């Protein structure tokens, strides 16, 4: 079992890393940021079409903010800081658009199916759908 000990705790350090507060923040950021690919891949395989679920943008936002704070307060490296300084802008914008699109869906009064925005008829039962009323849908 010496080989296992040397693999996991080389030099008595877990994974050979000198652990402290900012290392934990940085590694949690890495894990969260990386996990978004698994979430997106799973969603795509499940629907058999390329989809980007809102969880992808939440994980992107959380992971990049953790990595940005690591870069800003611990590493203090301009290259690393720039890499994460502006990524939150498209993440937040995509979350807003995701939310508006979801809110613009129409509820079928006949069967209760949630139909895509701007649909005239329910794709499940064929009943006519009510006209859109949501003010945010009109703002788009």
Query: Which of 17/125 has CB closer to Zn ion?
Result: 125
68 binds Zn ion (CB under 5 A): no
Q: Determine the interface stretch with Zn ion among 37-45, 56-64, 72-80, 116-124 (rule: CB under 5 A).
A: 116-124
Judged by CB under 5 A, the residue of 90, 124, 128, 136 near Zn ion is: 124
Residue 125 neighbours by CB distance under 10 Å: 11
Query: Which of 90/128 has CB closer to Zn ion?
Result: 128
119 binds Zn ion (CB under 5 A): no
Q: Determine the interface stretch with Zn ion among 5-13, 23-31, 58-66, 126-134 (rule: CB under 5 A).
A: 126-134
Q: Give the phi and the psi of residue 51 in degrees, each rounded to 5.
A: -135, 150
Count residues near Zn ion (CB under 5 A).
Answer: 8
109 binds Zn ion (CB under 5 A): no
122 binds Zn ion (CB under 5 A): yes
Which residues of this chain interact with Zn ion, rule CB under 5 A?
Answer: 108, 110-111, 113, 122, 124-125, 127
């Amino acid at each position: 079992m010496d080989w296992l000990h040397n693999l996991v705790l080389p030099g008595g350090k877990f994974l050979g890393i000198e652990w402290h507060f900012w290392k934990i923040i940085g590694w949690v950021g890495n894990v969260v940021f990386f996990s978004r690919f698994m979430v997106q891949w799973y969603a795509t395989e499940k629907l058999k079409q390329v989809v980007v679920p809102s969880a992808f943008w939440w994980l992107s936002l959380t992971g990049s903010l953790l990595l940005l704070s690591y870069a800003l307060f611990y590493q203090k490296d301009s290259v690393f800081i720039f890499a994460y300084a502006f990524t939150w802008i498209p993440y937040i914008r995509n979350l807003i658009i995701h939310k508006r699109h979801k809110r613009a869906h129409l509820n079928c009064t006949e069967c209760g199916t949630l139909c895509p925005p701007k649909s005239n008829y329910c794709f499940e039962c064929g009943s006519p759908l009510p006209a859109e009323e949501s003010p945010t849908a009109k703002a788009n």
